[in-house]
Structure 1
Amino acid sequence: MDTTTSETVNLSTTIYFQHYGNETINRFEQPDWQVALWAIAYSVIVIVSVTGNVTVIWIILAHKRMRTVTNYFILNLAFSDFSMATFNTIFNVVYAAHYDWYFGLGYCRFHNFYPITAICSSIYSMAAIAVDRYMAIIYPLKPRLSSTSTKIVIGLIWAVAFSLAFPQCYYSVTEYFPQRTTCLVNWPDGHGGKHHRTYQIALIILIYLLPLLVMLVTYSLIGQTLWGSEIPGEASDHYQNQIQAKRKVVKMMIVVVTTFALCWLPYHIYFILGSFIIEIYYHTYIQQIYLAIIWLAMSSTMYNPIIYCCLNQRFRSGFRHAFSWVPFIKVSEEDKMELQHAQTFRMARSYRTDNTNSTVVHHNST
């Protein structure tokens, strides 16, 4: 029997086929139990990510107290994570499990285009938060971004994201075999050619290394300012509360950035290596490695809401409000005031503390 072999490599999925006469056989067929395990693993990402990020979006939009410059960028980050989990994760696991593209050329283009867009929007939103925190802490007397300016910056972030992802959309094609269809990026000079390598190198620099470098520098300078010197002992309670609040926000964002960087590092290494050493795709176990790498990368969309809830009091109060229908979750008066009148609440709490101290001093002197 005449046997020919054809390898097809896609940025979204790595799939290989062998052609025996008129029959196309998948070299990476998985048993049903393995497909079921991957389906469960990816479903966890979708459920947690969609639930968590929609809640974050609601917390920010439904409470005026939460509509700050930093939170607008967090809102954009939450939308990017939510949309990628919704529009790409499910289709990724279906395609990787069945090795057959059911969704047509239009969605093939979108499927290859949108992950890069969402990644770019996410990491540049984090960089914008880092720069905003830097300006607020290092140069507190300079005017902050207005609501309109913040929206313009977010619009620019998406414009850059669309531009960087456009080649993925433009070169996407669907190829038809006797028994299945594939979705791939068909570069002009083939996989591993000059166009492909240049694009991969540009991507890893522009949507990973450069933003991380900006955040490393800004957060290092912020850390020197906030933790480099002790708070004066005679400083007012208001000043100490401000410093502590700023430290908490910076800690939270450092955790968010570190988590994102670790989740996406194997993804970038995988595709950079693949663009230079195509032989790594020839191993039969590479499909499992690919699915694990993509799972780790996509899982970055579900961690941020958990981080906000654990490290930020206002978001924690917001989550309690959102899930107050759950029997064991109770919303306290402090939670209600934290979101609606946070500043008034803190001043009142401080005033009560001062009065209590004064009463104790007066009692002792008497």
Structure 2
Amino acid sequence: MINLSKTSVIMHTDCRMLDVEDDGDKHPFLTDAWLVPLFFSLIMLVGLVGNSLVIYVISKHRQMRTATNFYIANLAATDIIFLVCCVPFTATLYPLPGWIFGNFMCKFVAFLQQVTVQATCITLTAMSGDRCYVTVYPLKSLRHRTPRVAMIVSVCIWIGSFILSTPILMYQRIEEGYWYGPRQYCMERFPSKMHERAFILYQFIAAYLLPVLTISFCYSLMVKRVGQPTVEPMDNNYQVNLLSERTISIRSKVSKMVVVIVLLFAICWGPIQIFVLFQSFHPKYQPNYVTYKIKTWANCMSYANSSVNPIVYGFMGASFQKSFRKTFPFLFKHKVRDSSMASRTANAEIKFVAGEEGNNNNNGVD
């Protein structure tokens, strides 16, 4: 979870350390004041459009309502809530000198931000566990992996995320400060340094470390299972073998897509999680212009994660590509025409070859 107050306070502290002339009560307007909000706006545009399309495609096409896709829809929902309810408020911290939205929004935005990040972590863990279950127990999973179970798990994920995020409400508040005049900041206020470090460590473990370790364990089991020889069908039926190979191929592609999504999460959220941990536990940490730039970059990385997942689905998810083309055929009219023509040509060639073989067989019989 990215703390609103730490971003704001560090930004203003670093600004005081810059070589900027004091122009009365007017605070300096840095390049980051428009560059970072512009980047956040781009993230919001791409993320909202992409994640909305993902949810729409899954809800519209019945064949897309699988267990994995329900988790993907849940992930898209967390990204949308995060983008709408959290990113705009964080973006205002860069051009504005302080928090202007009041005490209620201070608590609500920070709480919702923690909830969505926590829900994302648990959803990714559930997706990885789901893929592990399919790989290790392919037959047993047919009975238990249903959209209904996935929906129940998704509801439990949200309930658990709300419960795990409640400590935010106790510590988040409005504090008075001074930077080119009296300001108000939305920040966490702890009874002691020990409480602060305990809370930061709790956030790091619950929202990053534990999910990453669990996911890594799941994929280690998957790699071990994939390395084992598969059981061949009792009969050497060509169609059975072909269907088995196709099923394995499809599951492998889905698992690879989930792996990429998890890796992107770990890469995008890792820098800010490690930075906050370093900031709280390093005894000689001093905020300056360099640390401000690093944290700004880490914030942008973490927020960008909410917009990259739909791109992954588009490039790696064959079912998403097909469903998207069915939903918006006018965007792929030329490609659909070309593919249908190629399909007709291929069918004609198959019929021609089959006819030739039939003629040859008849001639041989005669």
Query: TM-score higher than 0.5 here?
Result: yes
Larger CA deviation: 290-299 vs 195-204 = 195-204
| Structure 2: distance between partners of 1:305 and 1:107 | 29
Q: 1:312 aligns with which of 317, 334, 340?
A: 317
User: How far does residue 63 in structure 1 lie from its aligned partner after superposition?
Assistant: 1.2
RMSD: 3.3
| Structure 1: distance between partners of 2:64 and 2:147 | 13
User: How far does residue 157 in structure 1 lie from its aligned partner after superposition?
Assistant: 1.2
Residue 110 of structure 1: aligned partner: 108
Per the alignment, do residues 200 and 292 of structure 1 end up closer, same or farther by CA in structure 2, a change over 3 Å counting?
same
Residue 246 of structure 1: aligned partner: 251
- Say whether the 8 Å CA contact 1:324–1:330 is kept in structure 2: no
User: How far does residue 335 in structure 1 lie from its aligned partner after superposition?
Assistant: 9.9
Query: Does the residue aligned with 2:165 lie in a helix, a strand or coil?
Result: helix
Amino acid of the residue matched to residue 5 of structure 2?
A: N
Partner deviation per Cα, 1:290-334 (whole Å, 9 max, x = no partner): 2211000000001110000000111112333455555x6657389
Residue 198 of structure 1: aligned partner: 198
User: How far does residue 146 in structure 1 lie from its aligned partner after superposition?
Assistant: 3.7
Q: 2:89 aligns with which of 88, 91, 108?
A: 91
Q: Which has the higher contact order (CA 8 A, sep 6+)?
A: 2
| Structure 1: distance between partners of 2:169 and 2:339 | 45
Amino acid of the residue matched to residue 319 of structure 1?
A: F
| Structure 2: distance between partners of 1:108 and 1:131 | 35
Q: Within the alignment, does 1:182 sit opposite 2:188 as a pair?
A: no
User: How far does residue 358 in structure 1 lie from its aligned partner after superposition?
Assistant: 5.8
| Structure 2: distance between partners of 1:322 and 1:267 | 38
Q: 2:5 aligns with which of 3, 10, 27?
A: 10
Larger CA deviation: 37-46 vs 226-235 = 226-235
Q: List aligned pairs for 1:163-312, cutoff 5 A.
A: 163-177=163-177, 178-189=181-192, 193-226=193-226, 229=229, 236-277=241-282, 279-312=284-317
- Say whether the 8 Å CA contact 2:174–2:186 is kept in structure 1: yes
Bigger helix fraction: 2
Per the alignment, do residues 81 and 247 of structure 1 end up closer, same or farther by CA in structure 2, a change over 3 Å counting?
same
Per the alignment, do residues 358 and 59 of structure 1 end up closer, same or farther by CA in structure 2, a change over 3 Å counting?
same
Residue 5 of structure 1: aligned partner: none
Amino acid of the residue matched to residue 174 of structure 1?
A: I
User: How far does residue 238 in structure 1 lie from its aligned partner after superposition?
Assistant: 1.0
Amino acid of the residue matched to residue 116 of structure 1?
A: Q
| Structure 2: distance between partners of 1:286 and 1:25 | 24
Residue 131 of structure 1: aligned partner: 129
Larger CA deviation: 132-141 vs 279-288 = 279-288
Query: What fraction of aligned residue pairs are identical, expressed as a percent?
Result: 25
Query: Does the residue aligned with 1:282 lie in a helix, a strand or coil?
Result: coil
- Say whether the 8 Å CA contact 1:231–1:240 is kept in structure 2: no
User: How far does residue 263 in structure 1 lie from its aligned partner after superposition?
Assistant: 0.4
Normalising by structure 1, report the TM-score.
0.81
Structure 2's unaligned 5+ residue stretches are 17-23, 341-346
Normalising by structure 2, report the TM-score.
0.81
Q: List aligned pairs for 1:37-186, cutoff 5 A.
A: 37-142=35-140, 143-177=143-177, 178-186=181-189
Larger radius of gyration: 2
- Say whether the 8 Å CA contact 1:11–1:112 is kept in structure 2: no
| Structure 2: distance between partners of 1:153 and 1:98 | 40
Larger CA deviation: 264-273 vs 93-102 = 93-102
Structure 1's unaligned 5+ residue stretches are 1-7, 337-350
Per the alignment, do residues 299 and 356 of structure 1 end up closer, same or farther by CA in structure 2, a change over 3 Å counting?
farther
User: How far does residue 175 in structure 1 lie from its aligned partner after superposition?
Assistant: 2.0
Amino acid of the residue matched to residue 61 of structure 1?
A: S
User: How far does residue 49 in structure 1 lie from its aligned partner after superposition?
Assistant: 0.5
Per the alignment, do residues 120 and 95 of structure 1 end up closer, same or farther by CA in structure 2, a change over 3 Å counting?
same
Partner deviation per Cα, 1:89-125 (whole Å, 9 max, x = no partner): 1211111332321211111112211222111111211
